[in-house]
Amino acid sequence: MSVQTPVSSRIDHALQNRRILITCGTGGVGKTTVSAALAVRAAQLGRKAVVITIDPAKRLATSLGLGNLGDQATDLSGALNDVLKTKGLPMLPTGGSLHAIMPDTKETFEGFIRSLTPSEAIARRVIRNPIFQIFSREFSGSNEYMAMQRLLGLQREGKFDLIILDTPPSRNTLALLDAPKLLARFFDERLIRWLVLPANKIVSAGMKKALGLLEKLTGGAFMTNLFEFAAALFEVRVQFSANLSKVTELLSERSTAFLLVAAPSRDTAPDAVHFVKSVHAHGFHFEGILVNRRLEHLGLCSDKAPTGTPPHVARAFEVISALQQRESLAMVDLIESIRQSNEMREEGSVPLCLSLPELARDVHSLSDLHEISLALERFNPA
Amino acid sequence: MAKSQTDNSQLKNALSRSLIFVSGKGGVGKTVVSQAIARALSRQPGKQKGKAKRVLWVTFEDPFRPAGELKEITPSLFELNCEAQTAFEEYTTMKIGIPTLTRILVQNSLVRYLAKAAPGIHELVLLGKVWYERTRWDHVVCDMPSTGYGLAMFQSTANFADLFRGGPIHHDAEAMLETFANGTECSQVIVSLPEEMPLRESLELRDFLTRLFPGNAPALIVNRRFPHDPEDPASGRPDEDLSPLARSPEEYARRRARLESLNLKIWKEAGVRPTELLYIPPSTEPPKADRIPDGIVEKLSSELQRLEVLPS
């Protein structure tokens, strides 16, 4: 690709050639909006695109036709064609379509357990166990794991050319990558074996003593439930590991890539380096970084408002000016870290680095999402 | 506008308690707000004449700080990085009382696995530690993990109190819940941003906490409120017909302020009258491993002083 190629054509290249794009990022960076806008753009490039979003804002969900829970794919191609028609633009090319899914994670988790267990009786025993209930509700990795489970299912169905997975919100960008490992911890076979096999009746004196002490602390009821939970886990462990390796395999494919969505703050560069390292350490592929919510397009704002400016406007200028200063430093940091870090350059190529502007209001419609997909071009020239 | 939409009395009330939990969605500024609260409180006069209040700020399992580290910031302000393994060992030592037996328990590989992996124990142990600390300080201010996980900490305590009868953990979980529900000892502060998602999630968090601890209603804070004109007649009106992009700083400032007023209607309709904290312009300092620039904490702490929400 020549140096003169617009940066946006590289994201188009990714949208045309990848089969799975996974967007990661901390809460509040606008991952969901970006993911939806990328799906709109992919549809316009002639792809059968679907965006899976876990927990969208209400206004955004409505604009995606996901007012109610949409565990099945909602077809938005007709609505998008209407938008294009209104704007006097050509309709979606043949083959191009747009879909959205909002999976019900609790439903999926129970379904997942059912798919792992050999009989309905065992499944019910697992699901009714109070420890499992706490686990499914609160375990911080289960949402992430379920998202990937859904991905695996969709990929098998083969109805779509491109799946964009908007990962669940979390403080930690890497939560998704670590989720399988965290879950696998529960399936530590050596330890579960202690809990369930008759062999634990003849365990060492030390082990007996330790379990006795734990029972004294937690009470008998907790221990009984725990043993039952462990017994259930033990029965599904083989299936679970098989499943885990399928997910890992899917994520390692060349046609799957990770896109980091970030805010223009000074944490972004170190976070990005850390993220890329981790993606590579897992044997996955890194697509690039999208810096969202930039304020550069407003034109440089002075922190000194002209005299006579109302005080709230003067203060607003101070804030915008400080945000813009931080943004330009953040971009310098980011470019520098891309230049210096070998990790960033997978197989010698410079990673994609895109920008999108901060919006002055929330996304209300498909038309807005289409406008953001156009901004990908406008804000990322050569 | 006839009636003020803000009300600082709830926050003032919350900050007078000895155990203060600060929660909210990730990225809303819980850490900086809780640090500012702790700093401001540590400058208030204490019971002893001429001495300030002693305050402990707690974070949970911050990977950028040493596990279980207690650090002195000023003679009246300390920081603790509460960590489950350390807290579990402290707790079992206290309960079992015999060092050899404690060692058998905490060094056992299965027990270590269970303490880490079994849902509930981990969270319970972390909250147990701050519950224990509350009697040793004038205030303990906790920077809770982001919403889902923070909820899990309270839920686990409730689970142990309800589901698993018998044993000292059950007994302590009940005592902990009693303290958390007690409006003279403990308070919940929920931090949000004036954006749709955090505002909605905060209401869910408020409802959850109110169900768990009836009669001890949380105080709510809107952090980073963009400078606005409270008399703006168009305030809170949606501008759907305009492009989602602003073209100048003036236009952005005006529309951002209106968007926030529109978003804040979500709370107004739910009967929430929060405390609003000004947008402190971000620091341009390079980041230091998850530490908040000192200048921001200082400014926010003076802001709390100015709003007169600190107990006398």
pLDDT in tens, B189-205: 999 999 998 999 899 99
**Which is more confident, A375 or B4?**
A375
pLDDT at B148: 67
DSSP secondary structure letter of residue A204:
-
Count the Cβ atoms, other than its own, within 10 Å of residue B81. 19
Q: Which of A173, A154, A370, A380 is nearest to A263 (CA)?
A: A173
Share of chain A above pLDDT 90, in %: 40
Work out the average pLDDT over A87-111. Answer: 86
Cα–Cα distance between A379 and A374 in angstroms, integer?
9
Nearest to A266 among B28, B156, B286 (CB): B286
Residue B262 has phi, psi (to 5 degrees) of -60, -45
Top-confidence residue, A182 or A63: A63
- Residue with the bigger pLDDT between B119 and B109: it is B109
The confidence score (pLDDT) of residue B2 equals 40
Interface test with B, best of A228, A319, A378 (most B CBs within 10 A): A319
Rounded to 10 deg, the angle between the B294-306 and B30-41 helix axes is: 60
What CA–CA distance (Å, rounded) separates A303 from A311?
12
A221–B239 C-beta distance less than 8 A: no
Residue that wins the pLDDT comparison between A368 and B155: A368
Which tokens in the block code for residue B226? 């963009």
pLDDT for res B1 = 42
User: What confidence tens digit (pLDDT) does each residue in A233-292 have?
Assistant: 777 777 877 888 888 899 999 999 999 999 999 889 988 888 898 898 889 999 999 999
8 A C-beta contact, residue A333 and residue B281? no
Q: Does residue A107 carry a pLDDT above 80?
A: no
- The answer to whether A28 and B193 are in contact (CB under 8 A) is yes
A284 Cβ partners below 8 Å, 6+ apart? A177, A251, A252, A256, A257, A258
- A78/B contact by beta carbon, under 8 A: no
Tell me which amino acid residue B114 is.
L
CB contact under 8 A, B238 and A301: no
Integer angstrom CA distances of residue A259 from A293, A296, A336: 16, 22, 19
Q: Name the packing angle between helices B147-162 and A130-138 (round to 10°).
A: 170
pLDDT number for residue B293 = 77
E-strand ranges in chain A read 20-24, 48-53, 74-75, 97-101, 162-166, 256-262, 286-294, 352-357
Q: Choose the most confident range, by mean pLDDT, from A234-238, A309-313, B177-181.
A: B177-181
> What burial class does residue A5 get, using C-beta atoms within 10 Å of its C-beta: 0-12 exposed, 13-18 middle, 19+ buried?
exposed
Predicted TM-score (pTM) of the model is: 0.90
* Per-residue confidence band for A1, with pLDDT thresholds at 50, 70 and 90: very low
- pLDDT confidence bin for A298, thresholds 50/70/90: very high
Task: Determine, for residues A209 and B251 on separate chains, whether the beta-carbon distance falls below 8 Å.
Answer: no
What pLDDT, on a 0 to 100 scale, did the predictor assign at position B289? 62
A245 or A109, which is more confident:
A245
Residues, chain A: 382
Question: Which chain B residues touch A333 with a CB distance below 8 Å?
Answer: 286
pLDDT in tens, B122-163: 888 899 999 999 999 999 999 998 766 778 789 888 888 887
Q: How many residues does chain B have?
A: 312
pLDDT at A370 over 80: yes
Nearest to B71, CA basis, from B85, B88, B59: B59
Q: Within its chain, how far is the Cα of B46 from the centroid?
A: 23
Q: What is the mean pLDDT of chain A?
A: 84
DSSP designation for B274: -
Of A270, A315, A361, the CB nearest to B255: A361
Angle at CA A217, nearest 5°, toward A214 and A221?
Answer: 85
Instruction: Give phi and psi for A165, each to the nearest 5.
Output: -105, 115
A80 pLDDT tier (thresholds 50, 70, 90): very high
Tell me the C-alpha distance between A63 and A369, whole Å: 9
Q: Which residues, numbered 183 to 242 in chain A, qualify as contacts with chain B under a Cβ-Cβ cut-off of 8 Å? A: 185-186, 188, 191, 194-195, 206-207, 209-211, 213-222, 225-226
Tell me the per-residue pLDDT of A138-173, one tens digit each, with 9 for 90 and over: 555 667 777 788 888 899 999 999 999 998 766 566
Helix (H) or strand (E) holding B153: helix B147-162
| pLDDT the model gives residue A22 | 94
Looking at residue B139, its pLDDT comes to 98
- Mean pLDDT calculated for residue range B22-32: 90
What residues of chain B lie within 8 A of the CB of A315, using their CB? 227, 278-279
CA A102 to chain centroid, in Å, comes to: 13
Distant-in-sequence, close-in-space partners of B97: CB < 8 Å, separation ≥ 6:
none
Q: What is the pLDDT of residue A104?
A: 74
State the pLDDT confidence band at B271, using cuts at 50, 70 and 90.
very high
**pLDDT value for A172:** 63
A217: pLDDT strictly greater than 90: no
Task: Specify the pLDDT at position B9.
Answer: 94
